[in-house]
Structure 1
Amino acid sequence: MRNPRVGAAIATINARYAEPWTVHSLAAHTGVSASTLAREFLAVIGTTPAAYLRGRRILEAKRLLRESSHPLESIAVAVGYTSAVGLHQAFARECGETPGAFRNRSRST
């Protein structure tokens, strides 16, 4: 990646998506200010660090919903949400369906 700070932030999110990252904590981890990281991330990736983190968490939740029978509460915590409600809201907003509906649909195909 041409921007090492953004690359470091992406690598951190991909490896540690379940941690309670904020733009400020991610920026501190990568050694820049939150405003610098947000600006550079948007310029390079086209989205915010928070949106990228949310997308990474949803991607992992989808995998767990397809491949496991773990309860939604367990999956929510495993991907970085504090409750099944938080996962449900983010998943429905990002995917247009609930985690349960996704699980049922992905298992029937």
Structure 2
Amino acid sequence: MNSIIEKEKKLNQALSELKNLDLSSPDLKNNIDNLSSQKTQLEIEKSQLEYKYKSLLEEHTNLTKKIEEIQNKEKLEQKKQIEFSEKIDELNQETDTLLEEIDKWQM
């Protein structure tokens, strides 16, 4: 309960200080103008960074797709090579069998 009363006192004190603030001070006006221009500059930079981020994100997505395509092509190529090797093995076995048959007939 005590902390609520203390917070209320601090809030009232801050409000009274804000009421007593002289906004016509040239230094204060210059500071506000400077802060405003800095805010504008930061907003411009933020927008540029967001644009660059979106561009990089798109590029990343495109590169990821290309990598997946390349990996799929590699897998397909490996599969074809395995199938080709199996066919060669089959042909070798058939050739061996035929040679054995020829040898039998020649004897």
Asked whether the two chains share a fold, i.e. TM above 0.5, the reply is: no
What interval of TM-score do these two structures reach, taking the shorter chain for normalisation? under 0.3
Relative contact order (C-alpha < 8 Å, sep 6+): which is higher? 1
User: Structure 1 length as normaliser, TM-score?
Assistant: 0.23
- Structure of greater Rg: 2
Structure having the larger proportion of residues in helix: 2
